[in-house]
Structure 1
Amino acid sequence: MPEVPSMRDHVGSLEKGLGVIEILATHPAGLTLTETAERAGLTRAGARRLLLTLVAAGYAGQNGRVFALTPKLLSLSRMWLEGTSLWSFAEPFMRAVATEMNESCSAAVLSGHDVVYVARIPGARIMRVALQVGTRLPAYCTSMGRVLMSGMTQEQLADFLGGAVIEPNTPKTITDRHEIARKVRQAAEQGFALVDEELEIGLRSIAVPIRDRQGAIAAAINVSAQSARFSVAEMETAVLPPLKRAAEKIEGFFTVQ
């Protein structure tokens, strides 16, 4: 049995610091000192010390009055993912989808303004962008990114897109923030997001959310397909059903944890 720490062994400042990290992780666009203190139940002075410590250690960055986590935190996550991964349980379901569709199936979470791949079953086709666990892609032009953003409030989404660097990857990339927001709201209503050649010409992808036991979007799972193999309509009729079934099975794991 694990040892139960006594109050003498309990490091309150570490617990508070981890709490601040968790709060910042749920606000990718960042928070001000006052917002962080309020959400963490800390004084402004206490929150300031913790935030500046995270900045000094490189785990958070400061842009004016706003504090946000940095990619350095991903180095810890990646080491953990390469060891005992929570996503290892999802791979059989993802592999079944990839085999049925003969295309890649991936899972990702949101980090900053990017999606970070946490699991991936590659397909047979060759992509311009090499993808693997730990790869980051911009959220605004990816199907998983739009699904993950669909869990945000309207205000959170506006802040998120306002702070994102949005550039065209292809002639089809949507760069108008209002139009991206409309696509995200559409994803929230439909329960999936489909992106057509916005990341790479010849590549279509469709994604659905993975929800935790509270019903919040914890991750996203997608299938990326060659546009020559699947039309936009076929992505919804042929690819979406097995993808949804896999997502439901993966969500079952979150429910029992």
Structure 2
Amino acid sequence: MGVSKLDPGSSVRALDRGLKVLAAISDADRPCGVTEIADAVGMTRTAARRFILTLEHLGYVAFQGQGYVLQPRVLELGEAYLSNQPLVAVAHPHLEELAAEVAETVSLTVLHQGLVTYVDRVQATRILAINIVVGSRVPAHATATGSVLLAGLEEPALDAYLSALQAQCCTKNTEPDVGEIRQKVLEARNQGWFLADQQFRSGIRSLAVPIRDSRDATLAAINISASASRITGEDLKKQYLEPLRRTAEKIVAAAG
């Protein structure tokens, strides 16, 4: 039986802080020093160092150059998650089929703690100038899959997300206004798809649709990403919306 809320009396503070240290190292795009990690998680340098040394002893991080980086052992955690998610295994052959059909990169994502997390990705043979891999976490408000995943939230959950949002501008096309972000989410909800035109990365357009279960609850989202220099937003929608929708339907049918 899953637990959705934790009784504060049952919380293990050391575990919570240790995982925050691991997440801080994971979120960085370069080696992190002890002071930087301590500042990121809000603890003293001495405390941060103890957690880092423990993670290093366990094989999850290592010192490299001027700071700490993740080690391959963290992949065990990701592999354990993916092996216990039937939707990923069911969806993968359909993502491969879609990527072969459209000759573009296709991804499967979920929403976790307000961020879009990539749980599967099939790369196209065409080069796409964006460094996204399985496990990458990106802002929901700036992505096509994020918009359709947010559209699947109940109103109280969407209100909570937007009230806590500190919208960052990833590109000049990123919408920083919370009111406008809400309107785009509602647009995605009403039309059942969303097109992000260079909102997360300049030069990348992405079209996404949700994957919904029999109760119409949004489980995940799939998208096609393409170079903006190769295809317009309108052509992306015209050519790929129906293949995306068919793929989503196949995944739902295969998942039962």
Q: TM-score, normalised by structure 1?
A: 0.71
Structure 1 residue 128: deviation in Å?
A: 4.1
Distance 1:237 1:217 in 2: 24
In structure 2, the residue matched to 1:173 is 174
Structure 2, unmatched stretches of 5+, are 21-73
- Provide the aligned length of Structure 1 versus Structure 2: 203
Residues 216-250 of structure 1: CA distance to partner in whole angstroms, max 9, x if unpaired?
10100000011122211112211110010000000
Structure 1, unmatched stretches of 5+, are 1-14, 24-35, 38-46, 62-73
Say which is worse superposed, 162-171 or 173-182, in terms of deviation.
162-171
- Correspondence 1:192-203 to 2 at 5 A: 192-203=193-204
In structure 1, the residue matched to 2:216 is 215
Structure 1 residue 211: deviation in Å?
A: 1.2
In structure 2, the residue matched to 1:78 is 78
Residue among 44, 48, 56 paired with 2:8: 48
- Correspondence 1:81-230 to 2 at 5 A: 81=81, 83=83, 86=86, 87-230=88-231
Distance 1:82 1:154 in 2: 29
In structure 2, the residue matched to 1:237 is 238
Residue among 16, 20, 39 paired with 1:58: 16
Structure 1 residue 106: deviation in Å?
A: 0.2
Distance 2:120 2:230 in 1: 23
Indicate how the Cα distance of structure 1 residues 82 and 159 shifts in structure 2: closer, same or farther if over 3 A, else same. Answer: closer
2:128–2:227: 8 Å Cα contact kept in structure 1?
no
Distance 1:143 1:227 in 2: 14
| Matched AA of 2:9 | R
In structure 2, the residue matched to 1:27 is none
Q: Indicate the RMSD between aligned Cα atoms, in angstroms.
A: 2.6
Distance 2:126 2:171 in 1: 19
Say which is worse superposed, 117-126 or 105-114, in terms of deviation.
117-126
Indicate how the Cα distance of structure 1 residues 160 and 84 shifts in structure 2: closer, same or farther if over 3 A, else same. Answer: closer
| Matched AA of 1:140 | H
Indicate how the Cα distance of structure 1 residues 234 and 178 shifts in structure 2: closer, same or farther if over 3 A, else same. Answer: same
Distance 1:58 1:224 in 2: 35
Fraction of identical pairs, as percent: 33
In structure 2, the residue matched to 1:28 is none
Distance 1:56 1:213 in 2: 40
Residues 64-113 of structure 1: CA distance to partner in whole angstroms, max 9, x if unpaired?
xxxxxxxxxx9776122455663133122111221222110000111112
SS in 2 for 1:170: coil
Indicate how the Cα distance of structure 1 residues 164 and 124 shifts in structure 2: closer, same or farther if over 3 A, else same. Answer: farther
Distance 2:200 2:159 in 1: 21
Distance 1:157 1:84 in 2: 27
Indicate how the Cα distance of structure 1 residues 211 and 101 shifts in structure 2: closer, same or farther if over 3 A, else same. Answer: same
In structure 2, the residue matched to 1:70 is none
| Matched AA of 1:133 | V
Distance 2:82 2:127 in 1: 24
1:81–1:118: 8 Å Cα contact kept in structure 2?
no
Q: TM-score, normalised by structure 2?
A: 0.71
- Correspondence 1:7-18 to 2 at 5 A: 15=1
Indicate how the Cα distance of structure 1 residues 77 and 222 shifts in structure 2: closer, same or farther if over 3 A, else same. Answer: farther
SS in 2 for 1:58: helix
1:107–1:220: 8 Å Cα contact kept in structure 2?
yes
